[in-house]
Chains A and B, each alone.
Chain A
């Protein structure tokens, strides 16, 4: 792995990814918010509160639960685990969470053990459910006939992120001090990039994914609030 590649992944891409993601999502949100919506599209039974209806739908997917039970099981597990892993990544960038936990009486080794167990299980679960969801696309006729290149590319990219993340987790020990230093250095615009190969692969895949989100169907990660609000409006 050359230094140039490391610098590109750890020193250039993060800024590009952040810019693309923030600008892309802001543009989407703005364009949706700005487009006029003359009428309500309430779908009954209407929730007595729009907010509660939208939150229930985004947190637990009750519509999908009633509509396609097995898809619900895999996709809810996938998304819930993804959220957990996302939270876990707070530790990657800052020691803040560790400090709080230590205040609460956790030992440093205890935190690492908990992280290894929960993170390890989550990493495997995420890859397994993601793979099932991707394979489902080929297995079921009704999904196969609506699947195009973007529908395969997005999950593949996501699986690449998960897989490289798992490589880091289950490969040689990776000291989080490196990424915390890296995060801090990014903030002061003087990037110091960890030289770990798995880290660079994982970061590359993750950065590409983040840039791709506003322009792909993973957009639903923000758009779902808008669409659900339209039909859950009481």
Chain B
């Protein structure tokens, strides 16, 4: 499917546009200019940072422990996709976390207060802070270090704290800032209007009619529908095959009138997780929970978006941000895998005859434990499914985690540093298509393949399903994609 056909986005797209690479001399991240005005002096900013550091003493427990507990064995560095890509001090996870630890020791411990700056350099001028921005936005937050750390330290927690402090100072990189603002204003990270969304959905329904010769509906804003489907907006606007796949599943099950999408809330992506700003994260989240309540859904069906599902399932629900919920939170891959296990879906695997591999998005595999379901779907719908190694919870990050994938200003870093391990992993499989369940992974992987001129397609899990699923005994009547 041509991606330009669905040109509904109102802001410059976060899709696979080839921007000129930065010269290697430029810093990886250009920090946003500090806000003008009297509040922006070095001293004020320093004070604000120190207050944020001192607040760590009050919790959360995890951060306090991580400030005090590192044995400095260097294991994280051997498991970090960024340090693998470029083994230099600036990318060593321990030294990145030390940016915060050093200040914690200096300003939050009795010894630090007593010994002053013996703990190391504790200056906090604009230069240092721009190093902070660069450093915290060169961690993909993939949590791979935590899987291997003998102390159980999850450096992504410290990275998020660092980004949160940077955000408070208004120094979040402009690209990230913009995504958050657009999302809070429009309800989706692409800035698409309800009309644009409806047009895209209509287009997808037409596509499916062409493919199968029958009407396969994508219900929108249906009050009382049991399932409320929330994909990342990318799966409607940029890589819409996954959404077609989900529509086909409901169609085959005879449940076309039991699900709905929302023309206001069609993007589970929530960049507050990535900028470390809890207020933004919750504000973005609230609209979706309220929409689910308004629609009266019984199930919030999350799409192929790792961090969106993680926020809903692992954070919002157990922490009761909005109290008890009148709906369950289920991922669409769990839903579909369950239907396949029950024998309710049939496939023509010859439609996907090229070798296909699966890239485990960190948020699904390490943070949510969803690893079997995508494999079940791919094995059911593809002739030649291949594992890449290591996989599941041990999988290497694509190099675009933690929101980095959306940042065009660090594309060179993502291609030549953070994505290097993933490229090698994909090449080893010999696959011609990488399926993955995350818009950010898809973007990063797509750019990687383009950058290194590998002829490997990139897309979603339900994309493969969409191409092979039998409707009235026949798979989609289409031979070329992309």
Contact = CB atoms under 8 A, between A and B. Distances in A.
A40 interface: yes
B149 interface: yes
Nearest to B93: A146
Given A57-B152, A224-B152, A230 B61 contact: yes
A39 B318 contact: yes
Contacts of A226: 61, 65, 69
B60 A142 contact: no
A120 interface: no
Given A142-B87, A147-B72, A217-B71, A63 B60 contact: no
Contact of A43 (B72, B78, B154): B154
B146 A231 contact: yes
B152 to A, nearest CB: 4
A167 B315 CA distance: 55
B186 interface: no
A155 to B, nearest CB: 10
A191 to B, nearest CB: 30
Contact of A66 (B64, B73, B365, B394): B394
Interface stretch (B43-51, B279-287, B366-374): B366-374
B319 A39 contact: yes
A35 B157 contact: no
A178 interface: no
B65 A32 contact: yes
18 contacts: A28-B68, A37-B62, A38-B319, A39-B314, A40-B314, A42-B314, A42-B367, A43-B147, A61-B150, A63-B147, A64-B149, A140-B74, A142-B77, A146-B77, A146-B92, A217-B70, A224-B151, A228-B151
A230 B148 contact: no
Interface stretch (A67-75, A105-113, A124-132): A67-75
A97 interface: no
B83 interface: yes
Contacts of A40: 314, 318
A145 B78 contact: no
Residue of A36, A71, A141, A231 with most chain B CB atoms under a 10 A cut-off: A231
B137 to A, nearest CB: 21
A89 interface: no
B311 to A, nearest CB: 11
Contact of A64 (B60, B98, B150): B150
Given A38-B319, A44-B366, A64 B61 contact: no
A171 interface: no
A46 B154 CA distance: 15
Interface residues of B, number: 53
B212 to A, nearest CB: 37
A232 interface: yes
A39 B368 contact: no
A223 interface: yes
Given A44-B367, A67-B75, A143-B74, 15 more contacts: A28-B68, A31-B57, A31-B64, A36-B59, A40-B318, A45-B369, A63-B147, A66-B148, A68-B73, A68-B148, A75-B73, A217-B70, A224-B150, A230-B152, A231-B152
Contacts of A232: 152
A227 interface: yes
B111 interface: yes
Nearest to A222: B69
B62 A41 contact: yes
Given A35-B58, A142-B78, A232-B152, A43 B143 contact: yes
A227 B153 contact: yes
Contacts of A36: 58-61
Residue of A33, A141, A142, A143 with most chain B CB atoms under a 10 A cut-off: A142
